[in-house]
Structure 1
Amino acid sequence: MTERTAVVLFTRDLRVHDHPALAAAASAFDRVVPLYVLDPTLQKLSPNRTRFLHQSLAELREALRRRGGDLVVRRGDPVAETVKLARKVGAEGVGLSADVSRHAHRRERRLRTECERHRMFLRLFPGLTIVDPGALRPTGGDHYRVFSPYFRAWQGVELREELAAPKRIRLPDGVDPGRLPEPPKGDSPDAAEGGESVAQRRLKAWLPTLDRYDDIHDDMAGDDTSRLSPYLRWGCLSPLAVANRAGDRDGPFVRQLCWRDFYHQVVAGFPDLSTTAYRRGAREDWRDDPHALAAWTEGRTGMPIVDAGMRQLRAEGWMHNRARLITAGYLTKHLGLDWRPGMEVFFRWLLDGDRVNNSGNWQWVAGTGNDSRPYRGFNPVRQAERYDPDGAYVRRWVPELESVAGKAMHQPWRLPDETRRALDYPPPLDVPGSDPLWMR
C-alpha cells in the first residue's frame, strides 16, 4: 500500500498547538513535511523581527523533533521551493493557513497555479484569526467598516474546536531538513525572545491578572499588559487558544483580540490599507518636515511622554498601547505629518509589526481609517497626567528628566530657563501655525 504524503507550509503560524493545517495533515496522511521557506525579500525588513522569527523557528523545529518529525528549512522563493520539495517527496498536495495580505494572496495564487500544473491540491486552513475574515458580512457589504457592530456579530459566532498538537509527525525518508540560521542580533537590546514555549509561559504567567485588565491596561508605568502581541503576530500562540483561556467574550481583553479579527476582515475587503486612506474624502494635507520626523523617530521632540514611547520602541521592539496612541496622535494631529512614514518607523522596530493591524491602527489615529470620530486627538500632556501621573514611565525612558518632580515632569518647558537648560532636554518642536493648548 502506497504511503500518502502532504506538505504543510508554515508562514506566520509558528506553533504545533491548535494548528489546523498541521493537525489535518497528521491525521489524514502517513508522512508530513513541515516546511518553512526563508524568503530573502522579507528577511531584510526588520532585524528585530528577523531575530524573533529565527528564535521561533528554532523552537518549532524542536517541537516537531520531539514528535518524530522535523522542520524542513529552505531558502528562496516560497512557491518554487514548496513545489520543488512537494514533487521530490511525492506529496499529494500542500496545506497552509489562509491569510489576507496582498503578499499572502499573491503567494496563494501562484502556489495554486503551480499545484494544479503538477496535479497536486492546495488547501487553505483557518488559524491566524479567531473568526475567519470572510465569516461575517453586513447587509449590503463585503466587510464591516465600523468596529462596534462587528464586535456584536463576532460575539455570536460559534467558534471552531481548538485542536491539540499532533502526537506524531513522520517525515519521508531521505529528506534533508536544512540548516536553520543562527538568530541575528536585533537592534533592540531588550527585545522579547520568540518561540511557542516562551509564549505559553508568558500567557500562563499573565492570566492571573486578567480580572484586573480593565483597570491596569492603561497604566503605562505599571506595564501590566499581556505583551502577547509579538507571539500572536508570528502565530507562536493561537488567537483562538488565547481567547479560550480568557473565557469572557464580553471582556475588555477579548475585545482587543477582536480588533485583530476586525482589521483582518477590513484588509480582506480593502487590500490597500497600508498605503491608501480608507475613509473616503479623508483630508490628507500633510506637512513635509524631515527634521520633525527624525526628532519624533529618535525620541527628541521635547514632549516627554512622546519621547518616552519612542525610546521604549527602540529599546524593546515593543511599545505600550497607550503610548502608541499618544505617539501616533502627536505625529499626525500635532506635527501634521503623514501617517505612512510613521507607520514605517513602527514597522522597522516592532516585533509585532504587521501590515494588517499596524495599518489599521495608524489610520484610526490619523483620522483616515475606521474611526467614526476622525477628528479626535490625543492631548499628550493630559494623557501623560492621566496614565502616568507620577511620571514613572517618563523617568524610565527619558533619564534627562529623572530629577524633575510633579507636573513639571510632563511640561518641562514651564521650568525656569536655567533649570531647563541644565536638563539637556530639547524644547518642544516648533510647528508653524500650531497653538497647542498644553503650551499656553
Structure 2
Amino acid sequence: MVILTLNCGSSSAKYQVYDWRNKDILAVGVVERIGLEYSTIEHKATGKEEYNEKFSSPTHKEAIELIIKMLLDEKHGVIKSLSEIGAVGHRVLHGGELFKKSALVTDEVVEQLKKVIPLGPLHMPANIMGIEAARKAMPNVPQAIVLDTAWHQTMPAEAFMYAVPYEWYTNNNVRRYGFHGTSHLYCAKRAAVLLGKKNEDTNVIICHIGNGASVCAVKNGVCVDTSMGLTPLEGLVMGSRSGDLDPAIIPYMMQNTGMSAMEMDTTLNKKSGLIGICGMSDRRDVAAAAAEGNERAQLAIDLECHRLKKYIAGYAALLGGRVDAIVFTAGVGEMGGHIRKGSCVGLEVIGAKLDQYKNEICHCRNGEFEISTDDSQVKIFVIPTDEELVITEDAYALMNGTYDVHTNFHYTFESKDYVNKGRARDLVKNLKKKPELKSIIALPR
C-alpha cells in the first residue's frame, strides 16, 4: 500500500508517493505554472529516469489527472493500479477556528474549508481545488486534510490574541494562528530524539527559513508561540514578505501613493522582504551580490539575521532561559550557512555557541547535523524537515482509525531507530564527496 501526499499552491501541485510497508519514498514531483499558457511537470521515481515535460493545465483538475497518469505510467510510474493507493493526504494552509487537528475529507469538511478562504485567500482556493480534483479522480480512496495551523493550537491566549477590540476575535476570528506547522512538528520531535529526551521534557526554538519563514517556541514539547500570525505575512523578513512592520505605515503609504487595499496586500506579500530591499529573494543570489560589494544585498542579509536573532533571544526568555536546542530547517535553514551564522552571533548570552567550521561545511540537506561547539550549553541542529512524512502518517492513521491529536499521537520518526531510507541513500553519496560531514552528524543520544 502507498500513501499519496498533495500540496496544491496557487499555481503548483507538489506530490509524493510513500511505500508504507517498506517506509520508503517511491516518487516525488511537482506541476508548476497551473493556469498559465503552459504548465510543466517534473517527476522523479526511484530507479527510473527523471521526466520533465510541458503540457496544458488550466486548473488543478488537469494537474491531478497528469500526476495520476505519471504514477501509473509503464516507464516512469510506481504503481500498477489506483487500488494500491491506501490514502491521500492534502496539505491545507488554514484551519481557522474550525479545524484543530487533521481530519478525513467529507463533503461537509470541504464546505467548512470554504468558510476559511477569507483567512487565506491566496492559498485556500488552490488547496480546496486540489482536494476536489483528487476526490473526483479517486472517489473510493480515503482522503485527509493536514492543517498548517493545527500544530500551533497549544498556544496560550496571551500568545495568540492581539491587543485589538476583542470583538475582532469573537466576530471575525482575528488571532494568531501560525503556519509551517507540519515542519515545526517534525523538527520538534526529531530534536527530542537527538537530545535523548522525551518530547514532553524538551524546550527548543525552531527556525523554518525558506522563501517564507517562521520561528516557533516549543516548551515541554508543544508550541507556545510562533512568529507568523493571522496570515503568513507577520514575523521574520522573508523572500518577498515584509514580516513585522508598524501598521501605521499602511495607511500612510496608501494616502501618499494612492494604492488600493489589494495593491498594498500584494506589495507586502510579493514585493517586500528581500526583494523589496535588494531586488532578489534567492539567498544564494543575495549572498553572491553582497560578496561583490552590493550594499543593499548586504543590508538585506543583515535585516534578515537581525530579525531572526531578536526572535530567537526573545523566545529563549519565553522558555524561561532553559533552551535545549535551536533548530534550523527548510531550504535556507538547511543550506544557508551565512544566515545561520548571522543569526547566531551574540546568542552566547543564552548559552548557544555556533562552531564556525561545522557551520561552514554544513551545506547538505540529507542528514541531521550538530553545528554547535562542544561546550555549548544549547545545542544547535540542522534538521532537514519532512512535512510530507507528517502528512503521510496523519493520512494513514486517519484511514486506519488510529489517529489522535499530535499531543497524544506517536509518529514513527520519534523512534531512536528511525531511518529515512531515501535521505540515508543521499547522505551516503554526499559523505563520499564530502567525508568531513561525518564528524558533525547528529546521532540520537
Structure showing the higher strand proportion among its residues: 2
Structure showing the higher helix proportion among its residues: 1
Q: If the length of structure 1 is used for normalisation, what is the TM-score?
A: 0.23
